[in-house]
A and B are shown apart, each in its own frame.
Chain A
């Protein structure tokens, strides 16, 4: 069975602070894919990043960076110098399981509020 845990239900920061969103996953499959999605108040889910289980290289994209560690089954997401527009719900998701490929298992989400 696949499971994703986002232990932080809500985070509140002031603009320009750095913030890290935690994601821990569980799977018995050796090949799997991890994702982060952003859901702003308007409702659409926006894809941010995909990482496969064979690629532990960290990634940076502008103010966003991701730290994938197989040893701790974690795929954490850091926003540097946060902005009000970063306010949203962030979901970590796992895609694994042979015949179940295509099924995204989502974490419960972390509500991020960035205050001016």
Chain B
């Protein structure tokens, strides 16, 4: 079992739907991350939060909207996604920006 919990594990949505991915950690980590991973590829960074402030946005389209309500929670709001957005979305957390990142099991997202 990982210490970073992601829900849901699987999500199927249409291109006009609005949904959210959730990530939670209780390790006292102050940095949290969203990654996107396509099959047979390495994870690609999307967003980094440090002390609940957005510190890196890797030019992600606005149909992905991150939110960090508190130091333990990270959300990714999805709206008007495209079929190419189908992927595994991974959340991670770390004590600081240079410490090891610990990953959740991911949400497998399919866009119809």
Chain A residues near B (Cβ < 8 Å) = 33, 35, 37, 42-47, 50, 52, 91, 95, 100-104, 106-109
Chain B: residues with Cβ within 8 Å of the partner, total of 27
Q: Which residues of B contact A (CB under 8 A)?
A: 2, 31, 33, 41-43, 45, 48, 50, 55-56, 58, 88, 90, 92, 94, 97-106, 108
Interchain nearest-CB distance for A32 vs B (Å): 9
Given contacts A91-B42, A102-B48, A102-B56, contact A45 B97 (CB under 8 A): no
- Across the interface, name the chain B residue whose C-beta is closest to A102: B97
A103 and B88 contacting across the interface, CB-CB below 8 Å: no
CB distance from A42 to the nearest CB of B (A): 8
Return chain B residues, CB-CB under 8 Å to A108: 41-42
Nearest CB in chain B: distance from A77 CB, A: 15
Q: List chain A residues, Cβ under 8 A from B43.
A: 45, 91, 104, 106
For the complex with contacts A37-B103, A45-B90, A106-B42, 14 further pairs of A-B residues with Cβ separation under 8 Å are: A33-B98, A35-B101, A42-B105, A43-B88, A44-B103, A44-B104, A44-B106, A45-B92, A47-B101, A50-B99, A91-B42, A91-B43, A102-B55, A102-B94
B97:A101 contact, CB within 8 angstroms: yes
Is there an interface contact between B98 and A95, defined as CB atoms closer than 8 Å?
Answer: yes
